[in-house]
């Protein structure tokens, strides 16, 4: 009764989710399975709003991408010769489906996520200590030394690889806490030491590599370049020392081979070779089916004399090859696609902790089929669901970002529109410019262009490459606000708000076609006037005054760069009556139908330049291929500066 008074429904759901987190490293995986069931039931009974209310396209996409392994496995079940085992495995992959769905619905704030992750770290610590106590009990009773390697894992009652995965995830979370809070407490240092000792005791090689990758990414995005360089260098050296230490060397004894012993790496390579040959023999495109008949695989192990592999019926020991084995090229292709998309989502959301955690999982997948066991499935789905549907990062109030000598505004499309509307209402003037990779490259040397761009009141990122660059350089911009999109939105707004627009630029035929299109689509009333872009320097002043007197609130100048920037910059004061002036490049050509705009998917993947290049290869060659190469070079230079 008291519980009900003090805690609302949300608390119950959060509590049940916390139980799922803290039982992941528990010795008995049944406890975690029961915790998952409890969580789903609480969500079902205590959810505050109807289940599908909070969905949008992006969330659905993320949920589908994260559920790919489930769908791939379901597909493989239909043609697997071992259907019972296939469906049993499919049942174990249900978290791939349930967690993304529930997390896309059940959103958490940063504080709650921190709380959950910290409890996960605490539970990993407690289970390690539990393992230490058990090891001491055995040692004290002269029942054996259980302090190292698989023997310690036996006490943890988890496969050494998976427990090391939990430790690596915990270390990354702990380090992220330190960076975020910019301080560390004595207790956290103790936890860090315990984790490091436990990792050394388990001596799983891939764990150290994953730790190096995870921490490198975290430091790259979240610390200064100096801290990043020093820390990663020291970490790399430490890990090298660990690798050559006697304890680590002893861990990797030679594996059983029909003709004696074989070193660990050669064994693994032969093992993977056997997997690839099996798929080639069976079905390259669809594989043997989910948990399909592995007789051919065992034969291939035998052919190569891999005693341990055929006696114990090894799986592929590589998640990518595991999908290749079970679902062929189709499964592998979908899995790789899902990974790329998850990376894209995380980078787009500037979710750097999520990116680090995901990198840790991907690294583990190189030597272990982690999605074949409960521990791997649950940790992968849970951590990625939390990462993809929530943010770990602090919301910062940012106004402008300086990127390669360009001051770009931290504005979304809607915020830009709002700002423009306000300026029109208040009868103020805004000079707008949209910058793409080519323009940023050009203004590095063209100081006049740089000045004209940086003096603008609003500077939006025009190309996807600018957004990516901002993320790589650790200054993530909100979203792409392409000039043509902004123009279209403003024309729409002009119609609803009663603003007037002036169209300047392009050939007479083109600009008049644009006028005709807008007049038909909206109303002729929105057009204050138009003029082609063929005029001399001497005519500029008169044209500007003519536009100013036309009663236009908005001016779209469709001229090549840097002509339009310089024209608008130099004649801004003659255009005093126009509230919003912007250069729109070749937008009139696109609106009039003279050239086509790239499909949406190409725009989203930053391939719009390539589409334009295909349309006008001769004209665009220098601008895009040379310009984009220079742009990449500039970013790399900035990264290593």
Partner 1 sequence: MTKKLNKYLNFFLILIFCYLSLQFFNDTKKTFWNTNYDWKNIKNVKKAPDVNVINISSNILGFVNNEEIFLDPFLTYKLSLKSKSYFFRFSYSFKDNLSIELRDLIWLNNMPKELGSYKLESLDLDLKKGSGSTLTFIGNGLSVINESKYLKKTIRQLKDVNFYGDNKDLLGIDYIGNRKYSFKKAFEKREFIPSTQSYIVMIEPNEGFNEEFIYFCKLINNLEFKGAEKIFVITCPVFKGTDYNTIEFNKLLLKEGEVNKRIELININLLSKKIAGFYRDSVNEISKKGYEKIAHEISSKL
Residue numbers of the site for partner 1 (CB under 8 A)? Answer: 6-7, 10-11, 14-15, 18-19, 22-23, 26-28, 31, 111-112, 115, 119, 122-123, 126, 130, 134, 138, 141-145, 154, 157, 294-295, 298, 310-313
Which CB sits closer to partner 1, 142 or 426? 142
Q: Kindly tell me the burial class for residue 38, based on how many C-beta atoms sit within 10 Å of its own C-beta (0-12, 13-18, 19 or more).
A: middle
Q: Label residues 182-215 b or e (16+ Cβ within 10 Å = b).
A: eeeeeebeebbebbeebbbbbbbbbbbbbbbbbb
Q: Tell me whether residue 14 or residue 279 sits nearer to partner 1 (CB atom).
A: 14
Least Å distance between CB 16 and partner 1?
A: 10
CA–CA gap between residue 435 and residue 420 (Å, rounded): 18
Q: What's the closest the beta carbon of residue 499 comes to partner 1, in angstroms?
A: 47
What single DSSP character describes residue 106? Answer: S
CA distances in angstroms from 528 to 547, 555, 590, listed in the order given: 8, 9, 21
Cβ nearer to partner 1, comparing 11 with 266: 11
Q: For partner 1, which is the closer residue by CB, 38 or 610?
A: 38
Q: What angle do CA 618, 619, 624 make, to 5 degrees?
A: 100
SS3 54: coil
For residue 14, the minimal CB distance to partner 1 (Å) is 6
Tokens of 515: 């006028």
β-pairing, 527-531 vs 554-558, is unpaired
Smallest distance from partner 1 to CB 3, Å: 8
Whole-number Å distance between alpha carbons of 450 and 448: 5
Q: Which is nearer to partner 1, 127 or 286 (CB)?
A: 127
Nearer to partner 1, 34 or 595 (CB): 34
Query: Is 555 exposed, middle or buried, given 0-12, 13-18 or 19+ CB atoms closer than 10 A?
Result: buried
Q: In the bound complex, what is the minimum distance in angstroms from residue 115's beta carbon to partner 1?
A: 4
According to DSSP, the residues that pair with 400 across neighbouring strands are 409
Residue 108 vs 362, nearer CB to partner 1:
108
Q: How far apart are CA 31 and CA 565, in angstroms?
A: 65
> Rounded to the nearest whole angstrom, what is the least distance from the CB of residue 342 to partner 1 in the complex?
27
Query: How far apart are CB 143 and partner 1 at their closest, in Å?
Result: 5
User: Nearer to partner 1 by C-beta: 27 or 529?
Assistant: 27
How many of the other CB atoms lie within 10 Å of CB of 107? 12
Residue closer to partner 1 (CB basis): 225 or 302:
302
Q: Is 499 within 8 Å of 577 (Cβ atoms)?
A: no
CA–CA distance, 427 with 421 (Å, rounded to integer): 10
The least distance separating partner 1 from the CB of residue 145, rounded to whole angstroms, comes to 5
Contact between residue 531 and residue 585 where contact means Cβ atoms under 8 Å apart? no
Contacts of 117 (CB under 8 A, 6+ apart): 21, 173, 386
Exposure pattern of 439-458 as b/e (b: 16+ CB <10 Å)? bbbbbeebeebbebbbebbb
User: What's the min distance (Å) between Cβ of 102 and partner 1?
Assistant: 19
Q: Which is nearer to partner 1, 313 or 524 (CB)?
A: 313
**Nearest CB to partner 1, comparing residues 111 and 618:** 111
Place of tokens 């989910």: 290
What's the CA angle centered on 361, arms 353 and 114, to 5 degrees?
30
> Least CB distance from residue 169 to partner 1, whole Å?
18
Strands (E), 243-331: 255-257, 260-262
Q: Under 8 Å CB-to-CB from 637, ≥6 apart: which residues?
A: none
Residue 45 or 633: the one with the smaller Cβ distance to partner 1 is 45
Contact 331, 323 (CB under 8 A): yes
Q: Is residue 118 within 8 Å of 173, Cβ to Cβ?
A: yes
In whole angstroms, the minimum distance from the beta carbon of 134 to partner 1 comes to 7
Name the 3-class secondary structure at 367: coil
Q: What share of the chain is helix, strand, coil (3-state, %, to 5)?
A: 70, 5, 25
Least distance in angstroms from the C-beta of 180 to partner 1: 16
Q: Return d(Cα 150, Cα 154) in angstroms, integer.
A: 6
Complex with partner 1: residue 185 or 509, whichever CB lies closer: 185
Residue appearing with tokens 């063929």? 534
Burial of 509 (0-12, 13-18, 19+ CB in 10 A): exposed
Nearer to partner 1 by C-beta: 258 or 542? 258
- At residue 51, the 3 state secondary structure works out as coil
Q: Which is nearer to partner 1, 107 or 519 (CB)?
A: 107
* Tokens of residue 527, six digits: 């057009």
Quick check: 318 and 369 in contact, CB under 8 A? yes
- In the complex, what is the shortest distance from the CB of residue 281 to partner 1, in angstroms, rounded to a whole number? 17
Give least dist CB 82 to partner 1, A.
10
Taking the complex as a whole, the smallest distance from the CB of residue 636 to partner 1 amounts, in Å, to: 42
């Amino acid at each position: 009764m008291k519980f009900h008074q003090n805690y609302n429904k949300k608390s119950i759901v959060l509590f049940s989710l916390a139980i799922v987190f803290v039982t992941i490293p528990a010795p008995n995986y049944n406890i975690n399975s029961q915790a998952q069931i409890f969580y789903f039931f609480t969500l079902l009974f205590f959810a505050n709003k109807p289940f599908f209310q909070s969905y949008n396209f992006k969330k659905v996409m993320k949920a589908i991408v994260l559920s790919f392994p489930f769908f791939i496995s379901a597909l493989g079940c239909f043609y697997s010769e071992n259907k019972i085992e296939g469906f049993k495995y499919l049942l174990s992959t249900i978290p791939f489906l349930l967690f993304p769905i529930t997390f896309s619905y059940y959103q958490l704030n940063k504080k709650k996520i921190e709380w959950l992750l910290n409890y996960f770290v605490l539970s990993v610590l407690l289970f390690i200590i539990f393992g230490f106590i058990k090891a001491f009990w055995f040692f004290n009773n002269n029942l054996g030394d259980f302090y190292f390697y698989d023997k310690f894992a036996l006490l943890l009652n988890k496969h050494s690889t998976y427990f090391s995965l939990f430790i690596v995830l915990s270390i990354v979370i702990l380090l992220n806490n330190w960076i975020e809070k910019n301080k560390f407490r004595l207790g956290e240092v103790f936890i860090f030491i315990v984790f490091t000792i436990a990792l050394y005791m388990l001596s799983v090689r891939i764990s150290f590599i994953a730790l190096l990758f995870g921490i490198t990414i975290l430091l790259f995005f979240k610390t200064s370049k100096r801290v990043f360089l020093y820390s990663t260098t020291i970490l790399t050296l430490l890990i090298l020392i660990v690798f050559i230490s006697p304890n680590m060397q002893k861990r990797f004894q030679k594996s059983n081979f029909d003709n004696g012993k074989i070193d660990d790496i050669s064994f693994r390579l032969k093992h993977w070779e056997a997997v690839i040959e099996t798929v080639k023999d069976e079905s390259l495109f669809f594989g043997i089916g989910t948990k399909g008949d592995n007789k051919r695989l065992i034969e291939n192990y035998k052919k190569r004399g891999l005693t341990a592999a055929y006696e114990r019926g090894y799986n592929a020991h590589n998640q990518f090859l595991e999908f290749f084995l079970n679902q062929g090229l189709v499964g592998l292709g979908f899995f790789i696609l899902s990974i790329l998309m998850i990376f894209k989502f995380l980078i787009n959301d500037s979710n750097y902790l999520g990116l680090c955690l995901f990198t840790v999982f991907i690294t583990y997948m190189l030597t272990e089929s982690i999605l074949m066991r409960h521990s791997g499935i649950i940790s992968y789905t849970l951590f990625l669901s939390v990462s993809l549907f929530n943010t770990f990062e602090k919301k910062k109030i940012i106004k402008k970002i300086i990127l390669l000598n360009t001051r770009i505004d931290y504005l979304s499309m809607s915020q830009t529109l709002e700002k423009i509307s306000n300026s029109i209402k208040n009868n103020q003037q805004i000079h707008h410019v949209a910058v793409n990779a080519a323009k940023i490259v050009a203004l590095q040397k063209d100081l006049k262009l740089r000045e004209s761009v940086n003096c603008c009141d609003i500077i939006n990122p025009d190309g996807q490459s600018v957004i990516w660059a901002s993320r790589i350089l650790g200054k993530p911009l909100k979203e792409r606000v392409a000039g043509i999109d902004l123009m279209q939105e403003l024309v729409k707004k002009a119609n609803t708000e009663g603003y007037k627009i002036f169209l300047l630029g392009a050939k007479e035929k083109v600009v008049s076609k644009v006028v005709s299109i807008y007049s038909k689509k909206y109303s002729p009333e929105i057009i204050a006037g138009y003029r082609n872009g063929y005029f001399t320097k001497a005519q500029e002043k008169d044209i500007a005054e003519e536009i100013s007197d036309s009663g236009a609130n908005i001016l779209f100048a469709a001229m090549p760069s840097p002509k339009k920037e310089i024209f608008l910059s130099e004649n801004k004061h003659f255009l005093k009556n126009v509230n919003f002036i912007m250069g729109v490049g070749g937008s009139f050509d696109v609106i009039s139908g003279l050239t086509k705009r790239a499909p949406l998917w190409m725009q989203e993947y930053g391939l719009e330049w390539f589409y334009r290049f295909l349309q006008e290869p001769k004209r665009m060659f220098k601008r895009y291929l040379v310009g984009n190469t220079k742009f990449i070079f500039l970013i790399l230079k900035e990264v290593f500066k």
